[in-house]
Structure 1
Amino acid sequence: MAKNEIHCNGAAGTLYGLGFIGAAIYYISAATSFWVGVLGFLKALVWPALLVYGLLKHFGL
């Protein structure tokens, strides 16, 4: 049998985690009410999707 090797790289997870923390701080600090803060927290969870959407919209793709 062939030996299966698994290589993990934690850099992507670290980048996402730092981005999540930064986005959460930004959105929550800009919130004007509790529910806007909750919405900001949810936006912070999906910030990569929002970033890609904004870039594609900017480039007209």
Structure 2
Amino acid sequence: MTSNGRGSTIVRDGPWGFIFLLAYVGAAIYFISESDGSFWGVILGLLQAVVWPVYVIFHVLTLIGA
């Protein structure tokens, strides 16, 4: 216990955060390389890199008929 009466919180999400960071960087590289290279194409590629897991889940659920 600390002197102010509150307990300490230990968060052990570091490895998962690193894996998600690598997945984002890889997706960003892929989507930017598929763009036309314009400013808005790069911005769109970065936005697609953020939401690509949603597309994966949608297509998996479509395939299994859910």
TM-score w.r.t. the length of structure 1 is 0.73
Match of 1:13 in 2: 17
Pick the aligned partner of 1:24 from 18, 21, 28.
28
Higher relative contact order (CA 8 A, sep 6+): 1
Coordinate RMSD, CA, aligned? 2.1
Which residue identity does 2:14 align to in structure 1?
G
Pick the aligned partner of 1:57 from 40, 62, 65.
62
- C-alpha distance in 1, partners of 2:15/2:55? 21
Question: How many matched pairs?
Answer: 60
- Quick check: 1:37 aligned with 2:50? no
Unaligned runs of 5+ in 2: 1-6
TM-score w.r.t. the length of structure 2 is 0.68
Residue 33 (structure 1) shift:
4.5
Unaligned runs of 5+ in 1: none
Determine which structure has more spread, i.e. the larger CA radius of gyration. 2
